[in-house]
């Protein structure tokens, strides 16, 4: 009986240690998307952010990026973009860009489902371990997983510095089918979101995840000690 309990404990602890880093990263993505209309204007104003060689002003970028963010945050289909045309009369996004925007929105929907389900599973598993073994064990598992996530974010930061292009291409090949994520430099998508934008956004994900990990590394232990 004790052997079975030990196997169950190690399995559940493995679930917590595996799932928590994923949830912290996805939570960071959720936070950044909710704050996108604050993050993007800040990013555009960062020193050294490249100008659009095809003529978008800062005001143009701010306007059109808000259109994209609204699409990713609302429940409308891709026909949402039918109402938006550039000053030269061309659609805001061409067919390839629209397909990618649709793919991104589908990925976001799946991501939010995984995030919600993941937190439910984590809470249930944590409660099971806490009631069967002890809440101190749960706190230690969370702290260990948070530490692992911190090291993972440090590795991500190094990757952004050393080989961002490899990470960027690998990310798109992993989560998107085909090549609809490849664009011309004259396409609206690249004019609004050049490589610098994505490098900085990946860095922001790492920073937010690092902050969340540090909180989970410290706060549960403080609460547990206080309640004892």
pLDDT in tens, 43-67: 999 999 999 999 999 999 999 999 9
Q: How far is CA 78 from CA 94, 104, 111, 191, 227, in A?
A: 12, 11, 19, 20, 51
Q: Which of 11, 16, 51 is nearest to 185 (CA)?
A: 51
Integer Cα distance of 72 and 134 in angstroms: 42
Please give the model's pTM, rounded to 2 decimal places. 0.91
pLDDT digits (tens, 9 = 90+) for 137-179: 888 889 999 999 999 999 999 999 999 999 999 999 999 888 8
The whole-number average pLDDT for the span 118-132 is 90
Integer Cα distance of 93 and 101 in angstroms: 9
Torsion of CA 12, 16, 17, 18, to 10 degrees: 100
Q: Which domain holds residue 39?
A: 2-227
* Number of domains present in the structure of the chain: 1
């Amino acid at each position: 009986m004790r052997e079975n309990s030990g196997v169950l404990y190690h399995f559940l602890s493995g679930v917590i240690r595996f799932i928590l880093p994923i949830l912290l990263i996805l939570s960071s993505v959720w936070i950044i998307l909710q704050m996108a209309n604050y993050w993007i204007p800040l990013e555009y104003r960062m020193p050294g952010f490249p100008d659009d060689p095809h003529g978008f002003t800062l005001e143009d970028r701010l306007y059109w990026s808000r259109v994209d963010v609204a699409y990713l945050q609302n429940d409308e289909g891709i026909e949402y973009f039918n109402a938006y045309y550039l000053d030269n009369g061309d659609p805001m996004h061409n067919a390839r860009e629209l397909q990618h925007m649709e793919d991104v929105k589908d990925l976001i929907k799946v991501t939010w489902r995984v995030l919600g389900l993941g937190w439910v599973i984590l809470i249930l598993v944590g409660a099971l371990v806490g009631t069967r073994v002890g809440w101190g064990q749960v706190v230690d598992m969370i702290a260990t997983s948070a530490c692992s996530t911190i090291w993972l974010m440090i590795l991500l930061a190094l990757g952004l510095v050393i080989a961002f292009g490899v990470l960027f291409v690998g990310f798109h090949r992993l989560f998107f089918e085909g090549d609809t994520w490849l664009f011309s430099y004259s396409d609206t998508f690249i004019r609004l979101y050049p490589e610098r934008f994505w490098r900085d956004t990946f860095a922001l994900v790492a920073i937010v995840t690092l902050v969340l990990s540090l909180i989970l590394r410290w706060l549960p232990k403080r609460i547990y000690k206080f309640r004892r």
